[in-house]
Chain A
Amino acid sequence: MGFSLDGVGLTHANGFRALRGVDLRVAAGERVALIGASGAGKTTLLRVLAASLRPSEGRVRLLGGEPWVDSPRALRRLRSRIGLVHQAPPIPPRQRVVTAVLAGRLGQWPVWKALASLLLPLDPAGAARELARLDMAERLYARCDRLSGGQLQRVALARVLYQQPELLLADEPVSAMDPALSELTVALLNEEALRRGVTLVASLHAVDLALRHFPRVVGVKEGAIAFDLPAAEVTEALLRDLYAAEGSLPLAGEISGVTAAPGLPPLRCA
């Protein structure tokens, strides 16, 4: 299973070239961090992996299927096996947390079940279980417009955990959380992937989080893959080159393995 991208390029409708010549092979159960400056193409890459953006060129194979070759039915089934945690989760403000989490299984539930669950939540225990892992169980019946940005991100995460996807994708899942919570959340994602043996790809703004938690790190620069290495082999020179446009390395806390050189600009918190 896992996935592979061969020569994937993507040009947006406005002519912006978001991805160029991306080759990436990830085996089932691998855990990969995507890092790179903002605007480098991490989100676009994740959306291609979620079968929600169709590349302009190249070949995409996900979980043994080919999203843009298979039938629309097969594509829908494939999508229900992929879960993407969004950076700014677009959850309707008037929706309750329990409904937002249960929505994770809409791709698996028949329509009658989805509609019945709106009248009376069909699996509140299941939603509560995932929320509890994120320390959010007591907000089960709260409305989403009563939550902070970090809490909303955890609801979105709980939704994808509840979906139980075979390919777990996360687009800067901790961007609205403080460093301690970020650490816990990224650890949780990894633990989930390990426990269920599923593939995990997460883009992270904080380089140190990526290096600490993920065995494999992929650097993205200007829509192309700059490096694809085991975390231990990522050198400071590579990172400095990756973030040349931003001027400093975005970090959540201390960086291990890579020591800050005296000439580096001051560290900035992500």
Chain B
Amino acid sequence: MSAAVRDPAALPRLGWTLLALVLLWPLLRLTDFRPAALFEAGNLQAMGHFLGGFLPPETSPEFLAMLAKAMVETLAMATAGIALSMVLAVPLGLLMTRSLSISRLGPGRGGWVGQILRGLARGVLAVLRGVPELVWALLFVRVFGLGAAAGVLALGITYGGMLGKVYGEILESTDARPARILLEAGSGRLAALCYGLLPNAAQELVSYTVYRWECAVRASVVMGFVGAGGLGQLMDQSMKMLNGGEAASILATFLVLVLAADGLSGLLRRRLA
């Protein structure tokens, strides 16, 4: 191959790939990652024994009634938590979005104020999501006592941090020109968001929010350990009593909820398409 037609990006690409592999190797060693151990005879038997305990799933009417109540509690907790997190995430995410900055047009005056505010918003979001929800929950349990309130608040804060960051990034990666020409015609930030960015970004924002709601349902398991009620607490009890059948029914409920979230997300995306 002559030098003229050689892809100038090929060599750097090879270099970065090799570098990634070289970095990955010690990390795998460090985590003692040996997939072969899964298939050793003794281990297979131990896993089989553990999973065998889950069968058959518990289906007694009393337990199913308890399960239904716990499911409603979990849904309520996840939904309230997500609603709270959106109250945090929407303003912070918007603040972080560069394509809605009026002072960047031109560029005009006061750009440094916007830069500082965007940096602050980014920092606040990092703190909110940097602390795991379990730690927030342990903190709030001291205020609200055992119960769902601590769980909702903990979910709201951590998920607010995650949603805000991703909202900001989705809005930044959406075509910025429709919003920019609106800002250039004197429109405000919120109007430019609604008329310029949301038509293109709504689908992705909705699907990420529903996905986070699904994660919140799962996170309620962890919340159960601080007595936040719902499926998590039920799971905690069943596991402690080594009742595999009950655990299997609870897991099946999770699967149903995840599938429902998937269906909801698909429906909303189609409506917005």
Closest to A92 in B: B199
With beta carbons under 8 angstroms apart, the residue of A72, A99, A114 that contacts B103 is A72
A12 sits at the interface (CB 8 A)? no
B268 sits at the interface (CB 8 A)? no
Chain A residues, CB < 8 A from B107? 54
Q: How many residues of chain B are within 8 Å of chain A by beta carbon?
A: 29
Chain B residues, CB < 8 A from A111? 188, 190-191
Report whether A95 and B108 are in contact in the complex, using a CB–CB cutoff of 8 Å: no
A199 sits at the interface (CB 8 A)? no
Docked CA distance A162–B108 (Å): 27
B106 sits at the interface (CB 8 A)? yes
Residue-wise, chain B 170-193 has the 8 Å CB interface mask toward A (1 for contact) of 000001011011101111101110
Number of A-B contacts (CB under 8 A): 93
Residue-wise, chain B 204-232 has the 8 Å CB interface mask toward A (1 for contact) of 00000000000000000000000000000
Report whether A84 and B191 are in contact in the complex, using a CB–CB cutoff of 8 Å: no
Q: Which of the candidate stretches A73-81, A131-139, A177-185 sits at the interface with the other chain?
A: A73-81
Chain A residues, CB < 8 A from B240? none
A244 sits at the interface (CB 8 A)? no
Interface residues of A in 98-117 (CB under 8 A from B): 99, 103-104, 106-109, 111, 114-115
Chain B residues, CB < 8 A from A51? 106, 184
Report whether B186 and A118 are in contact in the complex, using a CB–CB cutoff of 8 Å: no
Residue-wise, chain B 95-109 has the 8 Å CB interface mask toward A (1 for contact) of 000000011011111
A50 sits at the interface (CB 8 A)? yes
Docked CA distance A53–B200 (Å): 25
A52 sits at the interface (CB 8 A)? yes
Q: How many residues of chain A are within 8 Å of chain B by beta carbon?
A: 38
B245 sits at the interface (CB 8 A)? no
* Known contacts A72-B110, A79-B185, A163-B185; A115/B102 CB under 8 A: no
Closest to A106 in B: B187
Residue-wise, chain A 47-91 has the 8 Å CB interface mask toward B (1 for contact) of 000111110000000000001100010011111111110100111
Closest to A113 in B: B191
Report whether B109 and A72 are in contact in the complex, using a CB–CB cutoff of 8 Å: yes
Chain A residues, CB < 8 A from B180? 90
Report whether A52 and B106 are in contact in the complex, using a CB–CB cutoff of 8 Å: yes
Report whether A91 and B178 are in contact in the complex, using a CB–CB cutoff of 8 Å: yes
Report whether A115 and B190 are in contact in the complex, using a CB–CB cutoff of 8 Å: yes
A195 sits at the interface (CB 8 A)? no
Docked CA distance A91–B179 (Å): 9
Docked CA distance A99–B196 (Å): 11
Closest to B184 in A: A52
CB distance from A204 to the nearest CB of B (A): 20
Report whether A94 and B102 are in contact in the complex, using a CB–CB cutoff of 8 Å: no
Chain A residues, CB < 8 A from B109? 68, 72
Report whether B105 and A52 are in contact in the complex, using a CB–CB cutoff of 8 Å: yes
Report whether B108 and A109 are in contact in the complex, using a CB–CB cutoff of 8 Å: no
Chain A residues, CB < 8 A from B185? 79-80, 82-84, 104, 106-107, 163
Docked CA distance A109–B195 (Å): 13
Chain A residues, CB < 8 A from B103? 72
Docked CA distance A10–B199 (Å): 33
Report whether A103 and B182 are in contact in the complex, using a CB–CB cutoff of 8 Å: yes
B66 sits at the interface (CB 8 A)? no
Interface residues of B in 235-273 (CB under 8 A from A): 272-273
Chain A residues, CB < 8 A from B195? 95, 99, 103, 106, 114, 118
Docked CA distance A81–B110 (Å): 22
With beta carbons under 8 angstroms apart, the residue of A75, A76, A86, A115 that contacts B181 is A86
* Known contacts A52-B105, A52-B106, A106-B192; A95/B199 CB under 8 A: yes
Listed from nearest, the 9 A-B pairs whose CB atoms lie closest are: A107-B186, A80-B186, A92-B199, A90-B177, A106-B187, A79-B186, A54-B106, A114-B191, A52-B184
Given contacts A72-B109, A90-B180, 7 further A-B contacts (CB under 8 A): A54-B107, A68-B109, A80-B187, A84-B184, A89-B181, A95-B195, A106-B195
Would you mind naming 22 contact pairs between A and B with Cβ atoms under 8 Å apart? Answer: A52-B106, A54-B107, A67-B106, A68-B106, A72-B102, A72-B103, A72-B110, A76-B188, A78-B186, A80-B186, A84-B185, A90-B180, A90-B181, A91-B178, A93-B200, A103-B182, A106-B186, A106-B192, A111-B188, A111-B191, A114-B187, A114-B194
